[in-house]
Amino acid sequence: MQGHMKSLLIAIAGILSFFYLLNPTLGVFEFIPDNIPLLGNVDDATAAMVLLGALRYFGWDLTSLFVRHRAIDFGAKAD
């Protein structure tokens, strides 16, 4: 029962963060207005982290898209 409640709460948090990022109110409803320097995008970043965390919980790990990969050096000489 407790596992189902946890999954439900994570799903609700993910759905709410998705709709917050979708921004159906066109910026009318925001926790922190985007025009405040350095702080304006904190709420959007938090919603993105919650959404990524919820997706990861349910098996969709999109965080691997943000990992830096080593660049291929075409100028290196092979031994």
Q: pLDDT, tens digit, for every residue of 44-73? A: 889 999 999 999 999 988 877 777 777 676
Q: What pTM did the predictor assign?
A: 0.70
Assigned domain for 75 exists? no
Assigned domain for 22 exists? yes
Enter the DSSP assignment of 57.
H
Name, in order, each residue with C-beta under 8 angstroms of 52's C-beta and a sequence gap of 6 or more.
62, 63
List helix spans (H) across the chain: 2-22, 42-57
Q: What is the mean pLDDT of residues 5-9?
A: 93
**How many structural domains compose the chain?**
1
- Give the C-alpha separation, 37 to 20, whole Å: 20
For residue 46, give the amino acid letter.
T
Higher-confidence position of 40 and 11: 11
- Give the C-alpha separation, 73 to 37, whole Å: 38
Assigned domain for 44 exists? yes
pLDDT at 20 over 70: yes
